[in-house]
Amino acid sequence: MIGTALGVVVALVGGFTVYGVIKAFHGLRLSQEEEYYGADLSVHKIGAVSQD
């Protein structure tokens, strides 16, 4: 039981640490303009619908 609880604590601390570092240096959200156009165009530079 103690090992399981310790594993959960380590995972939570590690997860919050990684999340905090990413949030501080890069940000986690798109801008309003990027949200309007969608992540496929803003991040991946591809369209969601083919233009045949």
Q: What does the domain layout of the chain look like in residue ranges?
A: 2-42
Residues of the chain with pLDDT under 50: none
- What is this structure's pTM? 0.56
Distance CA 41, CA 17 (A): 29
Backbone angles phi and psi of 47, in degrees to 5? -90, 155
Predicted pLDDT at 7:
98
Q: What is the distance between the terminal CA atoms of the chain, rounded to a whole angstrom?
A: 58
Does residue 40 contact residue 48 with C-beta atoms inside 8 Å?
yes
Predicted pLDDT at 52:
54
Predicted pLDDT at 49:
67
Mean pLDDT of the chain: 86
The CA-atom distances, in angstroms, between 36 and each of 31, 41, 44 are 9, 10, 15
